[in-house]
Structure 1
Amino acid sequence: MVRIAIFVTILLVVLVYALRRGGGPERAMALILIAMALADQILHLFVPPRFSSIDAGHLAIDIAAAIATLVLALTAHRFWPMPAAVLQIFPLMAHVGKAMEISVHPVAYQTMQVAASWLLPPLLALATWRHLRRLRANGNDRSWRGWSRRSRPTTATR
């Protein structure tokens, strides 16, 4: 129970920091983490955690978080969302292993689902800090990739 309290405390501090001081991608990741935490709490109101079989509720949360983080990684003008997306995909591997009937002890299955989430708050804190450094150094920090024709470099091939 102490480890959960430590994680929640770290997560809350980082979320407030990212939401108040981060750029668009940092705030988007903070919102993804908030949505995950809320979905997890709502899930546990109705379904007790079980790790002896595939945990469909957590699988749904993990798929949604992985997709959201992958979209963030593809649209943000930052590098850090790529490792964040990988960290969101790791729990899916636990579900795949369990679905393939690989004999996974329930504690190992739970650990595989949860362990990567411990790395997300420090990554988000570092990303927010680096955003602030770029703002101080350059006066601005582009948040999103430009996909319009206007933002693409032009070529002189006419």
Structure 2
Amino acid sequence: MRIALFLAFLAVAVGYAAWKGGGPERTMAAIAATMVGLDQLLHLFVPPTFASLDTGHLAIDLFGAASTVTLALFAHRFWPMCIAVLHMVPLLAHSSRILDVALHPAAYLAMQVATSWPVPAILILATWRHQRRLARGANEPCWQISSRPSIPSIASP
């Protein structure tokens, strides 16, 4: 039941972000949808196990962490940093399994799953704030724009 509730909550967040969000919100919606799709595809072939290293979820979590950190680096928003941090916690769980730290399977599961719950709420809030900025007429960029230092022209004598 909790999985269905989470998927419904995430579907609302992804749909709202895809419909009304700016570039970063839509990108996060695509990342979240991709992660859920990969998870569902994984479970078609491999049953979840939390007694040993779960390499399938490790790959999905590496994708999620790399994608959200990249988003946080390039988006002109604060919220992607929060989501990037949330995607790092499952990597700590996988690291504990790689290092063979005694970790109860329930704790391993919780570290992989629990940090997913705030993501839809943050995405909904981020999309709502984007809409508020647009309603105020604020003209803020969605992406960080790299400003290359200008090279002074060499004046001919």
The normalised TM-score by structure 2 is 0.92
Structure 1, gaps ≥5 residues long: 154-158
The residue aligned with 2:15 is 16
Q: Is the 8 A contact 1:131 1:141 kept in 2?
A: no
Amino acid at match of 2:21: G
Cα distance in structure 2, aligned partners of 1:131 and 1:64: 26
Aligned residues: 150
Q: Classify the secondary structure of the residue corresponding to 1:5.
A: helix
The residue aligned with 1:112 is 111
Percent of aligned pairs sharing the same letter: 53
Cα distance in structure 2, aligned partners of 1:141 and 1:61: 32
The residue aligned with 1:92 is 91
**Runs of at least 4 residues off by over 2 Å:** 138-141
Q: Classify the secondary structure of the residue corresponding to 1:20.
A: helix
Shift of 1:148: 4.1
Cα distance in structure 2, aligned partners of 1:36 and 1:146: 27
The residue aligned with 1:49 is 48
Cα distance in structure 2, aligned partners of 1:137 and 1:45: 46
Amino acid at match of 2:78: F
Amino acid at match of 2:95: V
Cα distance in structure 2, aligned partners of 1:139 and 1:104: 48
Listed as ranges, the matches of 1:116-127 within 5 Å are: 116-127=115-126
In our comparison, the structure showing a higher alpha carbon Rg is 2
Amino acid at match of 1:5: A
Cα distance in structure 2, aligned partners of 1:28 and 1:118: 18
Structure 2, gaps ≥5 residues long: 151-157
Cα distance in structure 2, aligned partners of 1:142 and 1:63: 28
